[in-house]
Amino acid sequence: MSTTPLDVLRRVFGYEEFRGEQEAIINQVVEGGDALVLMPTGGGKSLCYQVPSLVRAGTGVVISPLIALMQDQVDALRALGVRAGFLNSTQDYQQRREVESAFLGGELDLLYLAPERLRLESTVELLGRGKVALFAIDEAHCVSQWGHDFRPDYLGLSELHERWPEVPRIALTATATKATHAEIATRLNLDGAKHFVASFDRPNIQYRIVPKNNPQKQLLELLRTEHAGDAGIVYCLSRNSVEKTAEFLTQNGIEALPYHAGLDSRTRAANQARFLREDGLVVVATIAFGMGIDKPDVRFVAHLDLPKSVEGYYQETGRAGRDGLPSTAWLAYGLQDVVQQRKMIDTSEGDEAHRRRLATHLDAMLALCETVECRRVQLLNYFGQAAGPCGNCDTCLTPPEAWDGTIPAQKLLSTVYRLQHERRQKFGAGQIIDILLGKSTPKVQQHRHHELTVFGVGTELSEGEWRGVVRQLLAQGLLAVEGDYGTLVLTDGSGDVLGRRREVRLRREPKREPRAPRTAKKAVVEMPPEAAPVFDKLRAWRAGTAKEQGVPAYVIFHDATLRQIATAQPSTLEQLGGVSGVGENKLAKYGQQILDVLAG
Ligand code: ADP
Ligand code: ZN
């Protein structure tokens, strides 16, 4: 009895065709070869090991560090009629015994394991007594010591090949950099593996980076006008701002839960579980939140503070829109972010090389913020992938102007120079801008700054525009901040500007924030407006069913599937079975209920 991968895809998962390189990857593993897969979040990595596990004899063993998610992953598979189980530290002896005997009895298609379990001789021995179809190493970047998710237990996985030379291995990650890619291949001994590197573009995510003035208010505006009732994640740098922002949203009628390392683990787990299970909740979090959040319907990711690196930004924003539906990645960014991050680097522990690395990361992030080109092009170039302007980012939708800022830059730098050299004084951006604007504040009077020749020479720009100039000079390394008060000082590059040896190109912010049109190219399920009430009815039915079963809503059906049902309005089980995402098992289980909802 031989089933093909395509049979499994259609019958079990209810999908018509493979996406991108899924088919090639699956064939490689089905035939017993190793694979290393780099694919963005939402690209469809899970099927790459789930399908081969169902096609090959034996159990597919999935190694994953995300213990908290195993229950949901297994529930999702069981809902499809796949025989799945997991072994981790959250289970008691009896629960483990049941899974073990199912495995030994050949009654499991998939077995999820935490990496630390493989360190136990008893686990290795257990696997030795049963039949393993393949090893899938999920979140494979955890083997990289330089990455931020390093797990020592992952290093031990290099031994799988020696113990089970005939069992194919597939390592998967959504981390895109070349360095991590190479490190995974070496550390996991994947010499003979075929490498599959997908495009890291996420066409359904609309990237937007806006100047920060009143971040909470800006956020509220975004949520009210574009994401009412949507699930989303808001990232803040500090615990304190997490708490404050969650409170602010809640006071304004948006249900928001805080998540940070300072909360006790019970509260954290409860908030995460609610976010995964309920529709339309917002989590406000530090970056401690998110790894392996595979909730498919996160509609927006908002950053109220600047991420430390482009990798971080890409990972965090990547949690939006796994289901391929239009989603927003929104970042508010301002002068204070640059000041704060430069300061954090200066005071960080570690040697000079480490600080230089942090600075390089920050510079790349700043370059992304200040670009006048397509954000997506810049982002993909960073990962070594070429692309053309996307039409679905803020710079494509409302192109900012580039302008020659050499003269304002000279005025500003010479003010800093005069204070530093004529007065032996250093001041922050506020005072420098007051001087340029010729504002006679008490602080100006006190320091007799109105007597400087540069006093009042900068009235051609507004205060906000001057802040933009300072921010961009900092971003370009033509100005630096120092000390606890964020005082401005000159850099080597400043001399070139003052000496007229170099031009300064600046970005002028567009007057308005771009809104739709959301022209995400592929993978988007359009829904005509008249289908919306039907979709809401289906969502309500799904919420009730999910609650009854104690599983996340998306385990029952994904939004994308419900949208298609709402649009097609099938009247028979057969028609319903033709909708993408409705496999045999779900059709048998929920088909009639759906038809009843549609008829009712
Ligand atoms: P990843 O693990 O790469 O982040 P997932 O495996 O969670 O991505 O897949 C993302 C979404 O795409 C899921 O909702 C999944 O069901 C869907 N999907 C994956 N492959 C296909 C396919 N061939 N056809 C339709 N939907 C797919
Ligand atoms: Zn673009």
29-33, 115-119, 172-176, 212-216: segment of lowest average pLDDT: 172-176
Ligand nearest to C-alpha 19: 1
70-79, 474-483, 511-520: segment of lowest average pLDDT: 511-520
With residue 10 as reference, give the H or E element that holds it.
Answer: none
- Rounded Cα distance between 127 and 545, Å, is 36
Query: What is the CA 273 to chain-centroid distance, rounded?
Result: 18
Residue 300: φ, ψ to 5°: -150, 150
The residue written with tokens 């560090």 in the block is 65
Neighbouring-strand partners of residue 169 = 135
402-508 fold? Arc Repressor Mutant, subunit A (1.10.10)
Q: 64 CA distance to ligand 1 centroid (A)?
A: 17
pLDDT in tens, 224-256: 999 998 999 999 999 999 999 999 999 999 999
Q: What angle do CA 323, 327, 329 make, to 5 degrees?
A: 125
CB 200 within 8 A of CB 65: no
Span 554-559, average pLDDT: 90
Span 546-569, average pLDDT: 90
Nearest CA to ligand 1 atom 19: 44
- pLDDT band for position 1 (50/70/90)? very low
Q: 139 CA distance to ligand 2 centroid (A)?
A: 28
The residue written with tokens 């395509």 in the block is 6
Is CATH 3.40.50.150 the classification given to domain 529-599? no
pLDDT in tens, 409-423: 999 999 999 999 888
Predicted confidence at residue 522, as pLDDT, reads 38
Mutational test site, ligand 1, from 7, 8, 19, max ligand atoms within 8 Å of CB: 19
Span 307-311, average pLDDT: 91
- pLDDT band for position 145 (50/70/90)? confident
Is CATH 3.40.50.300 the classification given to domain 205-400? yes
Residue 519 has pLDDT above 70, yes or no: no
Q: Is the dihedral of CA 269, 273, 276, 281 positive or negative?
A: negative
Span 40-69, average pLDDT: 93
- pLDDT band for position 216 (50/70/90)? very high
CB 590 within 8 A of CB 555: no
Mutational test site, ligand 1, from 322, 556, 579, max ligand atoms within 8 Å of CB: 322
Is CATH 3.40.50.300 the classification given to domain 5-197? yes
Q: 537 CA distance to ligand 1 centroid (A)?
A: 24
Predicted confidence at residue 408, as pLDDT, reads 96
Distances (CA, A) of 567 to 37, 130, 573: 34, 46, 16
Q: What angle do CA 585, 587, 591 make, to 5 degrees?
A: 145
Q: 48 CA distance to ligand 1 centroid (A)?
A: 10
Strand pairing of 487-490 and 479-482? antiparallel
Q: Of 266, 299, 291, 256, whose CA–CA distance to 69 is shortest?
A: 291
Q: 393 CA distance to ligand 2 centroid (A)?
A: 4
Phi-psi region of 486 (alpha: psi -120 to 50; beta: other; left: phi over 0): left
Q: 516 CA distance to ligand 2 centroid (A)?
A: 13
Predicted confidence at residue 513, as pLDDT, reads 63
Atom of ligand 1 nearest to the CA of 558: 14
The CA-based dihedral angle spanning residues 585, 587, 589, 592, taken in that order and rounded to the nearest 10 degrees: -170
Residue 382 has pLDDT above 90, yes or no: no
Atom of ligand 1 nearest to the CA of 19: 23
- Rounded Cα distance between 484 and 369, Å, is 24
Domains 5-197 and 205-400 share a fold: yes
State percent of the chain over pLDDT 70. Answer: 96
* Amino acid symbol at 271: N
Atom of ligand 1 nearest to the CA of 296: 14
Residue 32 in tokens: 């017993």
Mutational test site, ligand 1, from 37, 47, 172, max ligand atoms within 8 Å of CB: 47
- Rounded Cα distance between 111 and 87, Å, is 8
Give the 3-state secondary structure of 123-175: HHHHHHHCCEEEEEECCHHHHCCCCCCCCHHHHHHHHHHHHCCCCCEEEEECC
Q: 245 CA distance to ligand 2 centroid (A)?
A: 29
User: For residue 393, what is the DSSP state?
Assistant: B
CB 143 within 8 A of CB 183: yes
User: For residue 293, what is the DSSP state?
Assistant: -
Predicted confidence at residue 521, as pLDDT, reads 38
Q: Would you list the domain boundaries of the chain?
A: 5-197, 205-400, 402-508, 529-599
Residues with CB under 6 A from ligand 1: 15, 18-19, 22, 39, 41-47, 294, 296, 322-323, 558, 580
Interacting residues of 322 by C-beta distance below 8 A, sequence separation 6+: 41, 42, 294, 295, 296, 297, 298
- Rounded Cα distance between 100 and 108, Å, is 9
Predicted confidence at residue 398, as pLDDT, reads 92
